[in-house]
Amino acid sequence: MEKFTNLTGVAAPMPLVNIDTDMIIPKQFLKTVQRTGLVKNLFDEMRYDDQGNEIPDFVLNQPAYRQAQILVTGENFGCGSSREHAPWALADFGIRAIIAPSYADIFYNNCFKNGMLPIVLPQDQVDVLMEDARKGENARIAIDLESQTVTSADGQVFAFQIDPFTKHCLLNGLDDVGLTLEKVSAIDAFENAAAQARPWI
């Protein structure tokens, strides 16, 4: 897994609440057996018209945001289906961090498995960063995972919370499966005990 330490970059503003995973990547693009190549259909219905041409107004189609690495957005981002294709498509575009007041649980977890950092900040702080994001190239946002801070373009520093284990994995690019397999004897022991207690399973 790719490490996440720090990042300074352009943020794309998407001031909508409840952006769901069908909006992020519509299901007709889930028919792949790979993790990559999803970028072309990211936000497909907002990004392209019925003829498949780019809609110039859509934020990620604007020149200032084509290289955006951060997304600033509204509450309950990533609600809907469990599809990990949503973070894969965002990552494929180059998004490494998201800033929002809240996320749907499954999406939030899925981000970390892909080296992406979803940051939760209170609405008023998200509003400040949303203003930065609207300025495109002219207002870069800095994120530092070690110190758990986001710094706005004019130097305001906002602290965010992250679970220590998740942070450790992200900083070091650790793969969950490998970590868990180190505990295989605990799993064996649990399985044996469970087979006694609940043999019908």
Partner 1 sequence: MPKTLYDKIWDAHVVHEDSDGTCLLYIDRHLVHEVTSPQAFEGLRLAGRTVRAPDKTIAVPDHNVPTTPDRENGIENPESRIQVETLDRNAQEFGVNYYPVHDVRQGIVHIVGPEQGWTLPGMTVVCGDSHTATHGAFGALAHGIGTSEVEHVLATQTLIQKKSKNMKVEITGSLPPGVTAKDITLSVIGATGTAGGTGHVIEYCGQAIEELSMEGRMTVCNMAIEGGARAGLIAPDQKTFDYVKGRPHAPKGAQWDAALAWWTTLKSDEGAHWDKVVTLKAEEIAPVVTWGTSPEDVLPITGHVPDPESFSGGKVGAARRALDYMGLQPGTRLTDIEIDTVFIGSCTNGRIEDLRAAAEILKGRKIAVKRAMVVPGSGLVRAQAEEEGLAQIFIDAGFEWRLAGCSMCLAMNPDQLAPGERCAATSNRNFEGRQGRGGRTHLMSPAMAAAAAITGRLTDIRELAPQPA
Stretch that binds partner 1, among 2-10, 18-26, 51-59, 91-99 (CB under 8 A): 18-26
Q: Which is nearer to partner 1, 3 or 183 (CB)?
A: 183
For partner 1, give the closer residue by CB, 28 or 63. 28
Smallest distance, partner 1 to C-beta of residue 116, A: 12
Q: How far is the CB of 166 from partner 1 (least distance, A)?
A: 8
> From residue 77 to residue 116, what is the string marking binding to partner 1 with x (rule CB under 8 A)?
--xxxxxx--x--------------x-xxx--xx--xx--
Tokens 């951060």 found at:
70
The answer to whether 15 contacts partner 1 (rule: CB under 8 A) is: yes
Q: Give the chain as a DSSP string.
A: -----EEEE-EEEE--S--BHHHHS-GGG---SSSSS-GGGTTHHHHB-TTS-B-TTSGGGSGGGTT--EEEE-SSBTBS---THHHHHHHHHT--EEEES-B-HHHHHHHHTTT-EEEE--HHHHHHHHHHHHTGGGS-EEEETTTTEEE-TT--EEE----HHHHHHHHHT--HHHHHHTTHHHHHHHHHHHHHH-TT-
For partner 1, the binding residue among 2, 137, 176, 195 (CB under 8 A) is 176
Which residues, listed in sequence order, are joined to residue 8 by a DSSP beta bridge?
142
The site string for partner 1 over 120-159 (x = CB under 8 A, - otherwise) reads ----------------------------------------
Interface residues with partner 1 (CB under 8 A) are 15-18, 20, 22-23, 26-28, 30-35, 45, 50, 74-76, 79-84, 87, 102, 104-106, 109-110, 113-114, 163-165, 176-177, 180-181, 183-184, 186-187, 190-191, 194, 198-201
